[in-house]
Amino acid sequence: MLSLSLFVDRRFWRLSAVQVLGTIIEAAICPAYLVNITHRLSWNYIRLDVDGAAYGLLRCSPDSLVNLKAAFHFALEELEQVSADEPNQRDRVIAYRKSLLR
């Protein structure tokens, strides 16, 4: 579903078909990269004051919402563990997770 949305909205993101395909392959190889991909898209292409993860949660179908939230939760927990040595970064990840998954 995310692949279809990304491909359909590729003009909005200003991505070529090859770039969309590369992003889809990257997400398929390692689903934990999904948050990184959505952040990268939001920093480079978004025209709204939200990030890619929030956009994905708003645009996905109701059937996929639970799975997408679970994937984001898992990825953000992993990121929190990785940044455990940096208290400021860890606090930012925790705050982001709470605001995104409320």
The ranges assigned to domains in the chain are 2-100
In terms of pLDDT, which residue wins out, 36 or 45? 36
Amino acid type, 92: R
| Contact call for residues 85 and 41 (beta carbons, < 8 A) | no
Report the pLDDT value the prediction gives residue 62, as an integer from 0 to 100.
Answer: 87
Query: Looking at residues 25-52, what average pLDDT do you find?
Result: 71
* CB-based burial label for 41 (10 Å; 0-12, 13-18, 19+): buried
Average pLDDT over the chain, rounded to an integer: 80
Q: Is the pLDDT of residue 101 over 70?
A: yes
Element (H, E) at 43: helix 34-45
Q: Which pLDDT band, with edges at 50, 70 and 90, does 57 fall under?
A: confident
Confidence class for position 50, pLDDT limits 50, 70, 90: low
- Mean predicted confidence (pLDDT) in 8-27: 80
